Structures are given as structure tokens and as C-alpha cells.
A and B are shown apart, each in its own frame.
Chain A
Amino acid sequence: MATVEERVVAVTARVLQLEPDQIKPEHAFTTDLGAESVQSVELVAMFEEEFGIEMDEDAALSVQTVGGAVDFITKVCKEQGVDV
């Protein structure tokens, strides 16, 4: 089974139309990967769909980096009893 990081990278690559190997944990979604406002929302929505979780909108949209998203999603999965 793919790790949380691999799944986050895959979703990010799909939404932002990038190659997965271009995406590093330290990359910021907006400044490094070029995510626009609508794409940031799409990313959060796609993460929810990928992991089967519900995220708080403001908290999720405040996550800046790919690594931050991995940590945040792992925490939410744990809170909502989703195995990852």
C-alpha cells in the first residue's frame, strides 16, 4: 500500500498537472508548485476524496507545504479512525 506521502504527491501531481518527481516535501503549494486559489481548494477536496476524510476548511487551506499536508492528513486520519 502506498504511503501517505506517496498518495499526497500523486494527488498534487494530478491536480497541478506536474510530474510526481518534481514534487518534494519542502515545496510550498503556491510559491513553489504554482497552485492558484481554485487549485488550492481542489487539492483539499481531492485529499478528502483520496483518504475518505473530512477536513476543516480553514485549517486545511492554511497548510503551506507538501510535507505539512502529509502531517496534517495523517493527524486527521488518525482522529477520524481511517487506516493509512
Chain B
Amino acid sequence: MSDTRKSYPLIDATEPNLIEETFDYDLPPLIRFDGPLVEYIDGEPVHFDPKSLATRDFFITDTTFRDGQQARPPYTIDQMVHIYDLLSKLGGPNGVIRQTEFFLYTKNDRATLDRCRELGHAYPECTGWIRAVPGDFRLAKEAGLKETGMLTSSSDYHIFQKLKYKSRQACMDAYCEVVDAAFEAGVRPRCHLEDITRADIEGFVLPFVERLMRMSEQVPEELSVKIRLCDTMGFGVSFPGVELPRSIPKLIYRLNQSVGVPSSRLEWHGHNDFHKVHVNGATAWLYGCDAVNTTLFGYGERTGNPPLEGAVIEYIALKGDLCGIQTEGITELAEYMRSIGFPIPDNYPFVGRYFNTTRAGIHAGGLRSDERIYNIFDTTKLLRRPPRVALTDKTGSDGVALWVNEYFGLKGDKRLSVMKVHKVARWVRDQYEVHGRMTAISDGELEQQVKELMPEQYAKYKGSPE
């Protein structure tokens, strides 16, 4: 065998290459492509151009009040109105968070919808969610909604085992009857193809959607059917080469190209049963779904849905621009949700209490010399969350200095050196070496020590110790 491997001589440098075209610290790291995505469909390579994302109007939709609320006790009306207000602020004037959906069944459901609309925000647009029952469109129409989702389950698990239809034909006819009722009511139907990743795509999904497309040709464009691909059990798989019905690229291609549903009318709705929920949503964007349906902090039925805030960060990474998104709204939403008793794990990305907190002394040293070394992006600027250190036996003097400087709010040349915090560093060290402590040191304990051991600096930066 001949050695055909290329040789890679060292490219020496005296200045670092920080790859800032990707890791622009002012934005989440960008996702840059150097070629097409390729999926084999019917044995032939099909190219998907990810660079089209730069110009495509793809967006986020929200189901915090519907799927998100199915997994928890109901929100009060005031809570929902406040969350809606914050979602609007986060998504910005371009409507990156384009729509959110509401139940319509109770008096409270309808009052919530009215109060959200009274805020006068252009986005998120309010849509409904109803059962696939013709009479339910009356609710959507009376509420003045232009669009509502409806259940049109697509797998035989649902068609036969749950809904007890005698045949697929009977099921499809019943669904289409409801779609007709929506058209008559002047409400755009969004058909939720429940359990599509476990459905017979050739045998039911494509014939059904083809029929929906034909029906849509008979009505004005603004009433034409939208399709939501519901990965109800989280079976969808993102990578190429997977067969239907689990392949997300193939599912979207079939609906988009084989039966002609435009990208603007395709939406992905995932679940996190296999830890794939976020990347599956992003994959849907890449392969031609313009909408990815999400919930705040991923909270939803069972294991949850694509986290809205994760989709927001992914959106910026794919677009390479904030696009009007007010990223600090993510922190504001998390603070509000915590205040109403919504649990957010400490290590949860972007909003967890410790998401950008390091415990290792060597990491703290890196953070102190250049925070980019151990911080994912400028979390102070984008999320109002400066990188932190939690003090343990592994932290060392660098970590203590970082904590104290952060606590005093000191920047640049004003930052205190490790020598200036040595008494606090000694106290921390003794907690573990002398007193045999086994737990991390809380912010409250550190504050007390700073007050006692650094009284001059405390008085200077925090006011007089009492």
C-alpha cells in the first residue's frame, strides 16, 4: 500500500489565530458552511444549500401556552400575558418569534388571548389549537383568529389504535371534512401530522398531504393549509442516510418536493425523548422547514420540546446577525419563570444558575487573563450574565480574585490582583484543608469574608460595612 496521506508541517505563528470570523465574541459562535448538505433520496444524491438560510425567512414559533402548559399546572392569565409580552420583546420587531398558540376552550383561555392581543404587539401572532372537530372552528372564528392548529394524527398507532378508525380512507376523509369546515369558517388550518416519525409516509402521509394541497388550490393563499410535522415521540433522526419515517431530511424533502408544500408552510414540532430535540429542530430549518416550534426552556409534554431560547441562539448562529432579537430577554424570561416557581436546573444552558460558572482553578486562571478562554460568548453583553467562578477546594487564588473582582464590579486596570485577595484565598483554602469542608462555598459566605477581610476595598466599592 502506498502512503498517500498528505503531510501537515507546522505553520508557526507568534500571534494567535482566534478564528474570530466564527468566534466573534459579540455574537454566539457562528455556524458557517463550506459546502452543501447531501442526502440520498431514491438512490440519488440531493443537495440542500445551507447558505440559502442567509436569505430565507425562517423563524421560530412558540407553544409554551399549549404543549408547554400540558406538562404543568396552568399559568394564571396575568402570568401568560407577561410571558407573551416578554416573548414579543425577545423576538424583536422582525418577528423571529413569529407565532404562539393558545387553547380556546375555557373562559380563561379566551380571556388570555384577548389580553395578549390588547398589548398590540405585531409578534408573536396569536393562533389557536383545537381538536379535529368541525364545530371547534367556531371557537377559532369567534376568537377572531386567522389560523388554528388541528390534530390530524398520521401514524397507524394513532389512526387505528387511538382514534379507532376502520380504515385510513375513513380517517383521511374525516380530516378533510374538518379542513373544509376551516375554509368555510375563513380560518387557516394548520394540520398537525401527529406521530409522523412513526407513520407510513408513502401509504398515508403523502396521499393525505397531496389531497390537502389540492384542496388549498381552491381557496385564497392566506387560507391554504399549513403542515406541522409532529415528532410526537422524539423518534426523528437528524443525520443523513437514515430511512423513513425517522429521517428528518427525507420527511421534509418528501413534503416539500414530492407533494409541493412550500417551506413557508412547513413547521417542525419535536420532543426530547432521545435527547435530540434541539438539533432536530435546527435540522428541520436546514432541510426546508421555515418554522420550528418551541417552548420556553424546553418545557413540554414528557421530556419536552425544542427549547425556545436554544432556537434563538441557533438562529443568530445561522443568520450571523441578531436580526432584531433582544437576547437579554432570555435572562428576563428565566428570572420571571423562576419567580413564579418554574424550576430551571442550575446547569441548564444560557439561563441555569451555573451555566457559565467554572469551579476549576485552572479555568478560573484562564478566565481572569482572557474571559473568552472559558466563556462561550459575551454573556455579559448578550445575556447580562458575566462569567462566574464557584469556590471550592479546586479554585485557587485566581478563582478568588475573579470572584472578588466580579463582586466589586471591577474591570480592566481597576481589577484587584491575586495579592490583594490573599486573605480571602487563605480563608477558602483553610475551609477545606483545616476544617475538612466538603461543599462549595456560597456567594453569601464569600461576601461576609470579603467584608471582614478586605474592609477598605469593601468600603470603597460597596459602601461601609455595617
Residues of A within 8 A of B (CB): 37-38, 41-42, 44-45, 48, 55, 57, 60-61
Contact = CB atoms under 8 A, between A and B. Distances in A.
14 contacts: A38-B396, A38-B397, A38-B425, A38-B426, A41-B418, A41-B419, A41-B425, A42-B422, A42-B425, A44-B419, A45-B422, A57-B418, A57-B419, A61-B418
B426 A48 contact: no
B388 interface: no
A37 B419 contact: no
Contacts of B264: none
A23 B228 CA distance: 77
B429 interface: yes
Residue of B361, B419, B420 with highest tally of chain A CB at under 10 A: B419
A38 B417 contact: no
Nearest to A49: B419
Contact of B417 (A37, A42, A57): A57
A38 B433 CA distance: 12
A1 B297 CA distance: 67
A61 B398 CA distance: 12
Contacts of B425: 38, 41-42
CB-based closest 9 A-B pairs: A45-B419, A57-B417, A45-B422, A41-B397, A38-B429, A41-B422, A41-B418, A42-B422, A44-B419
A60 B422 CA distance: 14
A57 to B, nearest CB: 4
Contacts of B422: 38, 41-42, 44-45
Given A38-B396, A57-B418, 6 more contacts: A37-B361, A37-B396, A38-B429, A41-B397, A41-B418, A48-B419
A38 B396 CA distance: 7
A57 B369 CA distance: 12
Nearest to A42: B422
A57 B405 CA distance: 15
A45 B422 CA distance: 7
Contacts, number: 29
Contacts of B420: 45
Interface residues of B, number: 11
Contacts of A55: 419
A27 to B, nearest CB: 21
Nearest to A57: B417
| Residue of A41, A44, A55, A57 with most partner-chain B CB within 10 A | A41
Interface string B127-149: 00000000000000000000000
Interface in B417-448: 417-420, 422, 425-426, 429
Contact of B426 (A42, A44, A57): A42
Interface string B392-429: 00001100000000000000000001111010011001
Nearest to B398: A37
Contacts of A37: 361, 396-397
B428 to A, nearest CB: 8
B384 to A, nearest CB: 29
Contacts of B417: 57
A60 B396 CA distance: 17
Contacts of A60: 419
A38 B361 CA distance: 11
A61 B368 CA distance: 15
A37 B396 CA distance: 7
A56 to B, nearest CB: 9
Kindly name the residue among B361, B397, B426, B429 whose own CB sees the greatest number of chain A CB atoms within 10 A.
Answer: B397
A47 B420 CA distance: 12
B406 to A, nearest CB: 18
Contacts of A41: 397, 418-419, 422, 425
B258 to A, nearest CB: 64
Contacts of B396: 37-38
A45 B424 CA distance: 12
A60 B397 CA distance: 15
Nearest to B369: A58
Most B CB contacts (10 A, CB to CB) among A37, A48, A55, A60 go to A37
Contacts of B426: 38, 42
A60 B419 CA distance: 10
A46 to B, nearest CB: 8
Contacts of B397: 37-38, 41
A38 B423 CA distance: 9
B296 to A, nearest CB: 42
Nearest to B417: A57
B430 to A, nearest CB: 9
Of B397, B417, B420, which is in contact with the most chain A CB atoms at under 10 Å from its CB? B417
A16 B87 CA distance: 57
A41 B395 CA distance: 14
A46 B363 CA distance: 26
A42 B429 CA distance: 12
